[in-house]
Amino acid sequence: MGLIEGSRKLAQRTMTWQSKDDVIAEKVFDFFSSRGFPSTKGLRGRGPGDYHYRKFESMVAGVKAVEIKVSRGGSSGWQTSAGGSIGGTIGGTIGNLSKALGPQRVKIEYILVQKEGGFLGKGKESKRFEFNLNADEYINDELRVKDEAVFQKLLSGHLKTLGFPTE
């Protein structure tokens, strides 16, 4: 990848503040909504612990809700210095540039809630499933899904692993 191409990609990500994990989160949430799971609430965190979270009601016996959290995995993504700016030193800037342009790992966590907890979730019973993927395999540099059918098949596989009907 040339310096100009890398600079263009970095500028695009900086202007939109959107990254491949954002696109994946939207697609996962849309997939569950399209399968008839009503969404009850969602959160979005920004910064070093960047994540997307949404809770869906379940229509499957024995599962009260499905909580989904999509987050960046590994060291990809923006890292900021204590001053809040990207980089701070030449070495830091180069490190941040390589992290922003490198492959982005995304973690998708599904939590099947079987029993809601009381105060602060005490007594909550749930099963956790975690899937990791390389976002570059599914999302292009224009932040669009490369092959919608392949991505839908991946999510259908997640649904099947969770024990839900895929149709």
Structure tokens at 134: 């390389």
Q: How many CB atoms lie within 10 A of CB 162?
A: 15
What is the pLDDT, as a whole number, of residue 19? 83
What is the pLDDT, as a whole number, of residue 123? 77
- The pLDDT profile of the chain, 167 residues, written as one tens digit per residue, is 566 666 666 555 554 457 888 899 999 999 999 998 888 767 766 655 678 999 999 888 889 999 999 998 754 333 333 334 444 445 445 445 545 556 788 999 999 999 887 777 677 889 999 999 999 999 998 999 999 999 999 999 999 999 888 76
What is the pLDDT, as a whole number, of residue 6? 61
The alpha carbon of 119 is separated from its chain's Cα centroid by a whole number of angstroms, namely: 28
What is the pLDDT, as a whole number, of residue 98? 47
pTM over 0.75: no
85 Cβ contact partners less than 8 Å away, ≥ 6 residues apart: none
What is the pLDDT, as a whole number, of residue 166? 74
What is the pLDDT, as a whole number, of residue 99? 52
What is the pLDDT, as a whole number, of residue 144? 93
Structure tokens at 32: 């569950």
Q: How many CB atoms lie within 10 A of CB 87?
A: 16
What is the pLDDT, as a whole number, of residue 137? 94
Beta-sheet strand order (sheet of 51-57):
39-45, 51-57, 65-73, 105-115, 125-134
- Is residue 26 within 8 A of residue 77, CB to CB? The reply is no
What is the pLDDT, as a whole number, of residue 9? 61
33 Cβ contact partners less than 8 Å away, ≥ 6 residues apart: 39, 56
**Distance between CA atoms of residues 7 and 133, nearest Å:** 25
**Distance between CA atoms of residues 19 and 148, nearest Å:** 18
